[in-house]
A = this chain, B = another copy of it.
Amino acid sequence: MADATLGDRLLALVRELHPLCRSLTGDGVRETLAVLRRHAPLEVHEVPSGTRVFDWTIPDEWNVRDAWIADRAGRRVVDFRRSNLHVVGYSEPVDRRVGRDELLRHLHTLPEHPDWIPYRTSYYQRSWGFCASQRSVDAMQDDAYDVRIDARLEPGSLTYGELFLPGRTAEEILVTTHVCHPSLCNDNLSGIAVAALLAGELAGRPRRRGLRFLFIPGTLGSLTWLARNAGRLGAIRGGLTLTCLGDGSPFTFKRSFAGDSETDRAAALALRRSGHAHRIVDFPPWGYDERQFNAPGFRLPIGSLMRAQHGRFPEYHTSADDLGFVSAAHLAESQAVLGDLLHLLDGNARYRSLCSHGEPQLGRRGLYRAMGGDGDPEALQMAMLWVLQLADGEHDLIRMAERSGLGFEVLARAAGRLHEHGILAEESAAKEAVS
C-alpha cells in the first residue's frame, strides 16, 4: 500500500508547478527550480547563451509574457493565459493582422482528438505558431485575425538544478529528469515531483554511493551538464532518467545501452520485488536524456523508469496530459519503486574475502548457527556461505542474489556481519582514490 500522505504531497507539488511556462530556457524553469528548493537544497546553474556544448550552442533565452489570436470583434479565440500550450515553444514575437489562410499555416491541431491542444516546439528553426483544439479552429471563420506573441528571444542563459548528496565512497548514482515541458503533468511534472521529494527525503541519510539529482532541460541540458562535468563521469556507476511516473499504466523500465549493467539488474530486482506489473524493454536510441548519457562517447549505464512509455499513449504531448491524468496513489507508488531501486544500487557492494583460503572459522566468531534473534538463522547462515564463496571482488550483491536464489537483504545482512568481523573488505573505489 503506497503512502497516501506522500501521494498527496506529490500531487500538490504537481499542481503548484502546473501553471508555469517551462521551456528549454527562461523564467519558467527558474520559477520551477525555486519551488523545488523548498523541498530539496538544489543548486541552480546558469549557462550563458552562445556557450558551445559539443556539437550544439546554447540558444537565446525565450520568455513569453502574453499571446493570443483575436477575431475581428476583438475576442481572444486562442489565449496563452488559458493554457501555455497554446504558444509553440520558442515562437518569435509577432504582432499583426494575418489572413485566415496564412494563420492556418501557423496553427497546430489534433484532428483525431478535436478537444485537445497539442504541445509543439521549434527550438532551432525560428518561426512562430499557435496550438489549439480542432474544434476551436473550426469555429474561426473570420477572414483575418490579429495575432500577438509578446515574447523575448535574447541572450540569457540555460538554467538547471543540481543536488549532490555525497556518499561514503567516490562512486555516484545519477538521477535526472527533464524540466523543459510546460503544463504537462505526466511528462514531466510527475518525474520532477518524484525526484524532488525523494531527494529531500534522502538528503539527510547516510549512503555508500553519492547520489546526484539533475533537474535539467532535455537534450541540451544533459549535454551541457556532461560537457561541464567531464572529469566526474568516471565516478558514475549507474542511474536513471525519470518521466511519466503519475499515470495508471504498469511500470516500464528501459534498459541502458549495455543492457546488463548494475542499473539494469537493480531495476529488474526492484520491479520484481515490488509486486507491481511491469515490463522491461531494450534500449532504443530515442526517448529522453538516456540517449545522451548512453551515446558512444559516454556509454554511461543510465536506464529510464516510467509507467506509460513516452510517445506511446494518446495523451502524450497534449493538453489531455493534465491534472486528471495523474494520481496521488500512482505518484506515491512510483516514488516507492524508485526509492527501492536506489536503495539496491546504493547497497550493491562487491566484496573481497580477507579469508579466502577456504572458509573462515565462523564458529570461533559466534557466526555459526548461533544467531537466534537475528531473523531466520538458516537463511542468514546460507547467505554467509554464499557471500563467502562469491566474495571474489567481482560478484556484487545483486549477482549474489541471482546466483544463490536468496534475497538481497539477507545477503546484505550476511555481508555486513562478515564485514564487521573483518572477514570481508568492500571493493568500492575508495573516496580518496578519486577525489
**Contacts from A to B (Cβ < 8 Å):** 54-56, 124-125, 219, 222-223, 226-227, 257, 284-286, 291-292, 294-299, 352-353, 355-361, 363-364, 382, 385-386, 388-392, 404
Residues in B neighbouring A360, C-beta threshold 8 A: 55
A296 → chain B closest CB, angstroms: 4
The CA of A284 and the CA of B381, in the complex, are separated in Å by 13
Pairwise interchain contact A361-B285, C-beta atoms closer than 8 A: no
Residues in B neighbouring A389, C-beta threshold 8 A: 257, 285, 291, 294-296
The CA of A389 and the CA of B361, in the complex, are separated in Å by 50
* CB closest residue in chain B, given A391: B296
Most buried by B among A124, A222, A361, A385: A361
In the complex, the count of this chain's copies comes to: 3
A396 → chain B closest CB, angstroms: 14
Contact of A125 among B124, B363, B382 (CB under 8 A): B363
Contact of A386 among B54, B285, B352, B357 (CB under 8 A): B285
Pairwise interchain contact B358-A226, C-beta atoms closer than 8 A: yes
The CA of A54 and the CA of B284, in the complex, are separated in Å by 50
The CA of A382 and the CA of B227, in the complex, are separated in Å by 25
The CA of A392 and the CA of B257, in the complex, are separated in Å by 12
* CB closest residue in chain B, given A370: B125
Pairwise interchain contact A357-B297, C-beta atoms closer than 8 A: yes
Task: For the A-B complex with A291-B385, A296-B352, A298-B356 known, give 15 more contacts whose Cβ atoms are closer than 8 Å.
Answer: A55-B358, A55-B359, A124-B361, A124-B363, A222-B358, A223-B357, A285-B388, A286-B385, A291-B359, A295-B358, A295-B359, A296-B356, A297-B353, A297-B357, A298-B357
Residues in B neighbouring A404, C-beta threshold 8 A: 284
Contact of A358 among B284, B297, B364 (CB under 8 A): B297
Most buried by B among A56, A219, A291, A353: A56
